[in-house]
Amino acid sequence: MVPEYNKIKYGFVILHYMAYEMTVECVSNLLHYFEKDNIKIVVVDNASSNGSGKQLAEFYDSNNTVEVLLGLKNDGFARGNNLGYCYLKENYQPEYIIVMNNDVLIEQDDFLKKIDEIYKKTGFAVLGPDIYCPTAKKHQNPAHLKGFDRNEVQQLYTTISKYCTHPAFYYYKKETFGKLKRKIIKEPKNVDTIDRSKAMENVVLHGACYIFSLDFIKQRTNCFCPDTFLYMEEDILHYECMKKGLKMLYSPYIKVKHLEDVSTNASIKSGIKKFMMKNNEMKTSIMIFLKIMDETD
């Protein structure tokens, strides 16, 4: 028997790295809307070198709704979120686990109720909300309408490898000459042709916010492939869900705001350093993705 909405337990996982104020704002946002609901918030600190993880643990020490897990080292996006996901699954047995970036804000007081209503109608394993990024002025979900095939992943690996081999050349080509070219010839911005006003099944969902139902939680020890450090998590998750027959669903009826890249910006100020870090991690993650494809095809 499915429990009534107000008796359902919802778990939140928020991955923290360096950006103390943003994580506090994110948690405060959840408490504002859902403190009277049956929720548990787990903040996972990825061994922030500025001591902000310990600050959070002290700040929420007397709050029974919020628990802070202090990582011994920076485990990256996938393993950091897996820690919180596993902790909730083993200790609180929630019906839904919501894994979201610390730069994501919810602005619907019926957000949790809508999750349960959508599940009862669709039986999703993974649900993605309408994610709006105000800085980019765009909606980010779904990330892609279909997953990559092996040839596409191999092509991506070839391109990223070039960026890693000659990072300065490609960074300045992209950032300096690319911007100048667009300014001179007035290239039109990319036009978004995806109709995001309707629900879509088995699309690639954006990694800023995932809602996992019991259909997923019962089958998966981890929410993400634990081998990556950063990047490609959403593409690997989609591939693995499709292989296992786990339904992924985008719904425009639940909405979040994504402030984007707060943790990365707090730790890496230099543009070229961020470019190098991103491409090096992307290359490693693509190699892992190719290995997964080879082992399951």
User: Could you read off the pLDDT of 180-205 as tens digits, one per residue?
Assistant: 444 544 545 556 788 999 999 999 99
For the chain, helix (H) and strand (E) counts, in that order, are 11, 10
Question: Is the predicted pLDDT of residue 2 greater than 50, yes or no?
Answer: no
Half-sphere exposure of 188 (CA within 13 A, CB side): 3
Are 100 and 14 in contact by the 8 Å Cβ rule? The answer is: yes
Confidence at residue 4, expressed as pLDDT on a 0 to 100 scale: 63
**Mean pLDDT along residues 285-296:** 96
89 is written with which tokens? 């699954």
Confidence at residue 185, expressed as pLDDT on a 0 to 100 scale: 47
Question: Is the predicted pLDDT of residue 238 greater than 90, yes or no?
Answer: yes
Half-sphere exposure of 252 (CA within 13 A, CB side): 8
**Alpha carbon 8 to its chain's center:** 23
Closest-CA residue to 37 (of 86, 82, 98):
98
263 is written with which tokens? 């943790």
Query: Across the chain, which distance is largest between two alpha carbons, in Å?
Result: 63
Q: Please tell me whether the overall predicted TM-score, pTM, comes out greater than 0.85 for this model.
A: yes
Are 127 and 251 in contact by the 8 Å Cβ rule? The answer is: yes
Are 15 and 44 in contact by the 8 Å Cβ rule? The answer is: yes
Confidence at residue 101, expressed as pLDDT on a 0 to 100 scale: 96
Question: Is the predicted pLDDT of residue 175 greater than 90, yes or no?
Answer: no
Q: Which amino acid is at 151?
A: N
Confidence at residue 179, expressed as pLDDT on a 0 to 100 scale: 54
Q: pLDDT exceeding 70 applies to what percent of the chain?
A: 89
Query: 96-101 and 10-16 as β-strands: parallel, antiparallel, unpaired?
Result: parallel
**Mean pLDDT along residues 157-178:** 80
Distance (Å, rounded) from C-alpha 249 to C-alpha 258? 19
Give, in order, the Cα–Cα distances in Å from 69 to each of 8, 63, 219, 234.
Answer: 23, 14, 24, 24
Consecutive H or E run containing 28: helix 20-34
Reported confidence tier of residue 169, pLDDT bands at 50, 70, 90 = confident
Confidence at residue 47, expressed as pLDDT on a 0 to 100 scale: 96
| Residues facing 99 on adjacent strands | 13, 210
User: Which residues in 140-202 belong to E strands, given as ranges?
Assistant: 200-201
**Mean pLDDT along residues 266-295:** 86
For CA atoms 92, 98, 99, 105, the dihedral sign is negative
**Mean pLDDT along residues 283-297:** 94
Question: Is the predicted pLDDT of residue 283 greater than 60, yes or no?
Answer: yes
Confidence at residue 151, expressed as pLDDT on a 0 to 100 scale: 95
